[in-house]
Structure 1
């Protein structure tokens, strides 16, 4: 992941669930202006509105100035208190997308709406499977380094993607992960242990298939790098490819079809889902 472009200055009174905004987040400035307009129309001074919502005045100011990302619960509460008629709530999805680096926002939206997700990973455990500790370690190893606040924002955003598991109906998901990723002790052995345990739990879900590409395999169609395949409720098939801070969302059928064929080959070359879970249990036993 590349670092968010720009960074807002920290202010006291940060609330749980909020994040700093990137400089390119125009939707936050639009939301902030609307929030302020509705507050003034309601005849509320900032401290009074802050007290009513349970947030500090400095935090409300940061929201109104588009410098922080308000959590969904605040947007719902503000829309109700200010009698905004759903105007603020209508921006909730776009505001939520602002928590991601700009290059990943379109992919994050598609991922959240997908009916099918298929992931090939050969560099790190896929974000949809990562534990908080593993994600913290991954972002902590970025070079140039991220500061602590940026790391915290990235971890929150990554874990938020896993809300897809709580959707009803859940999307069908499959993961093919290179064994080297599952052996690499990013963050230390205890972090890796927790990560492998989480992968096992995910792999036992009825809507999730986990496969391992073994180190001993002489064939691997995924040497060009990781990618994600997405299918939407409308039947659109999309591919997301990212490497070295350069990402592409592919919609051209020829390109997407090529990656779909590659993924099918990868699944055939990898261990079966049942054998993969058994192999992960063996890896756990080695730690």
Structure 2
């Protein structure tokens, strides 16, 4: 399988399909590059080069017990980008991957990044603090950690079957295949890395990253996102970014890139071609 080896010896698996302007996809927790199937096939058919990696500790990459933090995630991306010599790239991140995009573009993207997209993304910061009173309390994330440690396999059933795709809403059209695919991706990764990543996605402060990004950035967020509530994430990020476009979607869930791929792909294409 194609992979690079980072400076600390971690193997980062990646997919690299097609030719043309590169689009790099950054997946959410606790998933893998496979979560972008609908987007990668779509943009490949439109003449783009599509790249997606498995974050360290996730998917087919090394099951790391250390380095599971946002700075290291961004460093890993920078090493992958250099190895593939990607220039004029569009970086698209979902959820935790949106945080990874913000940190990478702010710290490593100068001269290599054309545009960025944050989809249901965790910036500016998820955790409730004195400076972020609208955030989620620490007890929520402690609950995630406890559920993961107690029975990761069941926890990774409950999340996609419930709030992630909005399947807990009345009248939702539930896809067992989508639920099973989420579980499959999650269980491929390492429990220690997944446990640590909860702190990375919930407690990392991306305010300075957002302020530093100069590239055009599309912020996309479902208005019924139960995982990363829009009021304390997408709406705030769009205000902090220097050059942002905000698109919100009534009734769409956190996993809208899967449940509403046709809508999301069309809007992504329009932004990329603008």
Q: What TM-score does the superposition give when structure 1 sets the normalisation length? A: 0.31
Higher CA-based Rg:
1
Q: What TM-score does the superposition give when structure 2 sets the normalisation length? A: 0.32
- Which structure shows the bigger proportion of residues in helix conformation? 1
